[in-house]
Structure 1
Amino acid sequence: MASNRLACRECHHIIDPDENACPYCGSTSLTEDWAGYVVITHPEESEIAEKMEVTESGEYALKVR
């Protein structure tokens, strides 16, 4: 699923490969080495979002190396 998209090591957001920093948290610690993909649409109602400590809707990597 990665298809050259990057994951932020700090917040786990999935971002486009042309980004130099995460537009969500500002981190420059980005990687292509991630696994698992989840889309959170209603974080306030999601057990997965709670476990991941996610408070915003978006695309996330489950495991980031």
Structure 2
Amino acid sequence: RNVPHSFAKVGEGEGRLLMFFQPAGRMEEFFTKLSQGVAKNMTEAEQDKMREEHGFKRVGPPIKNFKKW
């Protein structure tokens, strides 16, 4: 908790990610919005605001060689 970290899928093919949030706080709402495509047309600043509204923020530069899906 409160430790900056990151992750990325760097291999070919399908990837899986299992995450737990306890207590869940507003994370369920965040992932519901993502699944509905809410962030798809947002600017990076708007995405950052949405993250902060749900209790986390982007830190550091992007992971190198990361392919957006």
TM-score by length of 2: 0.23
TM-score by length of 1: 0.23
Q: Which structure has greater strand proportion? A: 1
